[in-house]
Structure 1
Amino acid sequence: MASWNFRASSSSQNIDEQEPLILDNVDDFSTYDEMDNLLRDKHEYHNGCQWRLRASYSKVRKYWEIKNIEGQHTCFSNILSQDHTNLDITHIVAIVSNFVHTNPSIPIKSLIAYIKARFGYSVSYRKAWIAKQKALAMEFGDWEESYNHLPRWLHAVKEANPGTILQCTGSPVEIDGQTDNNCYIMERVFLSFSPCIQGFKYSKPILQVNGTFLTGKYHGTLLTAMSLDGNRNLFPVAFAIVEGETKEAMIWFFQLLREHVCPQPNICIIIDRGTGILSALRSEEVGWEEEGLNFVYCIRHLASNFNNKFKNHDLKKQFINLAYEVKQPTVTAKLTALRHHYTQQVAWIDKIPLNKWSQAFDGGRRYGHNHGFLNED
């Protein structure tokens, strides 16, 4: 980045009024007129600043000479707070690459603060964000490159792990109305490792199915099916990337899960009350209910929905404690007592079948796990 350096035109260390100052490194000005206009007019009406600088270019000596400096500079700090034309994205990438390598999730504001502390200029959030994305691409590859490698990587994983189930779906790209069969858009991926499939046979016959949004350049939803081993450790069973928690996507996921991973009967699945998941589980395409499938609700999801509706934290705690109660008469008695004081709230609970949320009425199918494993403290 170019800068202005001042030096005396002679080797004298004591500069008097007759000794001109010379500006070096002014290569960021394309013409002499541009430099002249800046030096003479830049600060003339800037926030009332009375600072004046007069300079002229010597064609004989081939440098600029400052002839006169007047007034106090009152807008200096405001100028430093602005961006700099030479502090471009390429330069910022070189500055932040080490930070991105060490911490890929470093906040943009931290990068802006570092550049401000080092150079005295505040770059825009957009410029810092673009620079970080370029630094990430240099370090880890860009999004397009990563997605192009994904099918080969998945098939390599399958070849290296015999028995692994892999299912990919996609559609060819259309360019100007013409289908290009050499380029496909990935739509869905299902993956279950062979050790996970074999290990689930010896785990508790319960699954938690959950989804989370993908927040990168290409959006979608990551679906997971998790179980617990005998030591209550998380046991991954299957993963999928789909367009969202739609009924169609969930049917596709459950069909593959039932066919390849969980063919045994009497599986218990812990879910939230999402309409897409419920419709998929009950659909004829999946056909899981015919084999004794039981699905129950995660009490933490229910309690969160309950509190969002009624804004009663104490009653939410009572609802959770009631779900963990193992004696049916106790659950019935407490619900009756609550019904006299909280008619509307208990009416909301009554709409949910007892065997879907109460441990006392679920027949032991959930093995005491009233909430999702992924939400455990």
Structure 2
Amino acid sequence: MEDSLMCVISFNSNATLIKVNSTTIFAELKMIVAENFRESYESLLISYSIEKFPNVSFELSKDEDILNMIDYHRSMGLNTVTMTVTKRDEGPTHAIGTETELSVPNVSTQSSEHIEEPYERITIEESERIPNDNPQGEHVWMMNDVVSDSSRIPAWWHEAITGKGQQFESAKEVRMALIYYSIAKKFAFNYVNNEPKRIRASCMFRKETKCPWLLFASPLRNVSTFAIKKFVPQHTCGQHNSTAGHFRASRRWIASMLQSVMKRRPYITPTDIRKELHSQYGLRVNYSKAWRAKETAKDQIFGCARHSYDLLSWYQMKVMETNPGSVFTIEQEDTRFKRLFVSYGACIQGFLKGCRPLLFLDGTFLKDRYKGILLGATAYDGNQGIFPLAFSVCDQENEANWSWFIQGLRYILYNRTEPYNPPHPLVILSDADKGIKQSLKNIFPDAYHSRCVLHLVENYKLKLREMGFASSAAQRISKLLEFAAYKYTEREFKAVLHQIRMTDQRAYQVALSYGPSNWANSVFPGIRYGHITSNVAESFNSWIRVARTLPICDMMDHIRVQIMERMNTRRVMATNWNSYLCPEAEKILQENVTKGSTLEVSHSTAEIFEVSSQKSVQVDLDHKTCTCRAWDILRIPCKHACAAINFMHREMCTSFAIGS
């Protein structure tokens, strides 16, 4: 699923629309907002609100805030977010005759070691400025400042070429230094000689204007070190401008600039590279050059993407050697890679011994040079955390690939010396069909398949719009369908469906056509433990966001390390637990115990109780059921069950929870 959000950003009586995604940089977003509303970058504060907490504002101040905002809204199935822009209190104004400092936001980590501060400072003499009309006494730049602004260029670029006698390790270093120097000094040059042992460069306009600028470098005698033998630094051509020399910013040169950035942000897009080069150094490059530079930098850091496929057999052998019990299968077609299936031994054992029989299936796009799809099967651990079980890499999401992947799941669960015997039949949730439904019928005939309610509601809303419903009406009816899916009892479920029927008979018929037994809590034949969405699968896709941009071997090893670190972190956490239940289950149980402490309980038989709250319900401790169906669905004693258990013996609550 695409992770972009449409932001409705308001400031006073004005508003604008901006799309953000997981690669959006906060400083870049703030700069766009400042430009749209024509306000000072430093004076703006950006915040957003969510429906669940309408009176709380969440401030955006860094890149991580944007990622958290996107993850939350996507997990709730939302495509838009409302932001508010306010102005911070202005500090004291500068008195005339003093120095003024202007800050230019740095949207990316500099590759130069000479710049450590997050902002590049420019000192402007007051005598060179003219006062502004605004009452705060601010000052504006003169036109010469804008034309000759070199504040974004690191100081060492200006000193990349110092003069005659300067030495370099190789001819390549000379060429790189020339590029830095020409961009910093804003002039263009041509190579008169560009050879392994002789480099001669002159001003591009030497013939037309007799410009004397010249550089000649060659190796020193009997050594490979290059030295500048002749250097004329003066220009008389008058051809300086803000983009002079930019064409010398080659793919390899940009790749060298990107390496430090891509080690931290391998998911950066060519569009973002173009924006950052411009905002950081004033460089203008086209999209194709940015894309080629990114691929070159990725190859330099992680190795060739094509060669990575050649290493799969070696990686398979190492996984089987170092991870006993793992399943790693590679399928080829005419000696070419077709698809693979991976499930690490620790993941298999962890799922069989510590997870409920519940799996979430989803696919996500890979973003390396050869693209492809990653199919994943994810579960919840005992403390409601992500637990990856298996994943597959293939060319596209279709019935053939899903069937192959699900066959792999069948193998790791049931083709064992100790067959998988869960307390309840296996339940598998997915966001859409795409071949999953039929594959499950063929391969897991005894398992239950459930659709993700959020995706179903989104499809329902689109269907209503196609039928001619207004947007507001489609939204309202879709919310009713989602509300019905969460109901525990069939009576409550039918009551909500009746509201849809009273609103429009056509909408009611469409809701029934989706098959409520596949998505509604009250009529679902299996046990989903309260989970009716595939959010955990989408969380896994977001969790491996960086890995998805890497070559295939690096991607798999990145995921392996992530799983290893997560398991170790949880192992350390578990050593500090002093209760029978995991903290999340213990928290729910304690809340139900507290809520049930005020309820009236009547003893019917040895194991059956009648509990009175807003309405009376019947609790059967022998069969571990309650007519409110919360215990049946969540498999944790509900407040009525806790009240009945407390009526008999307070300490029995935990034992009944463990037995669930």
Instruction: Give the TM-score normalised by the residue count of structure 2.
Output: 0.43
| SS of equivalent residue, structure 1 residue 244 | coil
Q: Secondary structure at the match of 2:435?
A: helix
**Whole-Å separation in 2 of the counterparts to 1:276 and 1:225:** 15
Q: Give the number of aligned pairs.
A: 319
Among residues 380, 386, 406, which one is paired with 1:254 in the alignment? 406
- In the other structure, the counterpart of 1:87 is 249
Q: Which residue of 1 aligns with 2:477?
A: 315
In terms of Rg, which structure is larger? 1
1:374 aligns with 2:374: no
The aligned counterpart of 1:21 is none
- Amino acid across the alignment from 1:220: G
Q: By how many angstroms is 1:214 displaced?
A: 1.9
Q: Give the aligned residue type for 1:374.
A: A
Contact 2:521 / 2:532 at 8 angstroms: preserved in 1? yes
Deviations 1:294-327 (A, max 9, x none): 1111101101111223342222222111100001
- Classify 1:301/1:26 alpha carbon distance in 2 versus 1 (closer, same or farther; 3 Å): closer
| Aligned residue number for residue 379 of structure 2 | 227
SS in 1 for 2:285: coil
| Most deviating of 342-351 and 261-270 | 261-270
Residues 78-136 of structure 1: CA distance to partner in whole angstroms, max 9, x if unpaired? xx336644332233333333333343334435544555567655232222321222122
In the other structure, the counterpart of 2:143 is none
Aligned partner letter, 1:246: N
Q: Which residue of 2 aligns with 1:206?
A: 358
**Contact 1:2/1:27 (8 A) holds in 2:** no
1:54·1:67 contact (CA, 8 Å) conserved in 2? no
Within 1, Cα distance between the matches of 2:430 and 2:235?
A: 79
* Deviation, structure 1 residue 333: 2.2
Separation in 2, partners of 1:149, 1:221 = 19
1:218 matched to 2:380? The reply is no
Would the aligned equivalents of 2:189 and 2:204 in 1 still touch at CA under 8 Å?
no
Q: Give yes or no for contact 1:82–1:122 (8 Å, CA) kept in 2.
A: no
Secondary structure of the equivalent of 1:282?
Answer: helix
| Alpha carbons 2:378, 2:390 under 8 Å: kept | yes
Q: Distance in 2 between matches of 1:130 and 1:257?
A: 38
Q: Which amino acid aligns with 2:524?
A: D
- Whole-angstrom distance in 2 between the partners of 1:118 and 1:164: 46
For 1:320-331, list aligned pairs within 5 A: 320-331=482-493
Which of 509, 512, 515 pairs up with 1:347? 509
User: 1:39–1:364: structure 2 CA closer, same or farther, 3 Å change rule?
Assistant: same
User: Could you tell me the percent identity over the aligned residues?
Assistant: 25
Partner of 1:270: 429
Q: 1: distance between equivalents of 2:299 and 2:503?
A: 59
Q: For the aligned residues, what is the CA RMSD? A: 3.7
**Amino acid of the structure 2 residue aligned with 1:243:** D
The match for 1:295 among 438, 449, 454 is 449
Unaligned runs of 5+ in 2: 1-156, 162-186, 194-201, 214-229, 465-470, 543-660
* Kept after mapping to 2: 8 A contact 1:205/1:268: yes
Q: Match of 2:397?
A: 245
Note closer, same or farther for the CA distance 1:294–1:118 as it changes in structure 2 (3 Å cut): closer
- Tell me if structure 1 keeps the 8 A contact 2:483–2:496: no
Q: TM-score, normalised by structure 1?
A: 0.73
Structure 2 contact 403–439 (Cα < 8 Å) conserved = yes
> What is the 5 A alignment of 1:1-377?
28=190, 30=192, 38=205, 77=241, 80-81=242-243, 84-109=246-271, 111-112=273-274, 115-116=277-278, 121-172=283-334, 184-202=335-353, 203-262=355-414, 264=420, 266-283=425-442, 286=443, 288-289=444-445, 292-310=446-464, 311=471, 312-372=474-534, 373-375=536-538
* Counterpart contact for 1:307–1:316, Cα < 8 Å: yes
Separation of aligned partners in 1, 2:437 and 2:244: 54
Structure 1: segments with no counterpart, 5+ residues:
6-24, 42-52, 173-183
Matched to 2:345, the amino acid is: S
Give, in whole Å, the separation in 2 of the partners of 1:274 and 1:67.
Answer: 67
**Contact kept in structure 1, 2:399 and 2:436, CA below 8 Å:** yes
Shift of 1:272: 2.7
CA drift of 1:355 comes to: 1.3
CA distances 1:46-75 after superposition (whole Å, capped 9, x unpaired) = xxxxxxx57699xxxx999x9998xxx7x8
Deviation at 1:38, TM superposition (A): 4.3
Residues in 2 aligned to 1:232 and 1:304: alpha-carbon distance in whole angstroms: 25
**Secondary structure of the equivalent of 2:266?**
coil
Aligned partners of 1:212 and 1:223 also within 8 Å: yes
Q: What is the rounded CA distance, in whole Å, between the counterparts of 1:248 and 1:37 in structure 2?
A: 59
> Does structure 2 conserve the Cα–Cα contact (< 8 Å) formed by 1:251 and 1:280?
yes
In 2, are the aligned partners of 1:2 and 1:28 still within 8 Å (CA)?
no
Which secondary structure does the structure 1 equivalent of 2:532 belong to?
coil
Mapped to 1, the partners of 2:388 and 2:292 lie a distance apart of 36
Contact 1:192–1:261 (Cα < 8 Å) also in 2: no
Cα pair 1:299 1:357 within 8 Å, conserved = yes
Q: In the superposition, relative to structure 1, how do residues 119 and 338 fare at CA in structure 2: closer, same or farther (>3 Å)?
A: closer
Separation in 2, partners of 1:233, 1:281: 25
Give the counterpart letter for 2:362 in structure 1: N
1:356 partner amino acid: N
Shift of 1:334: 2.0
Partner of 1:11: none
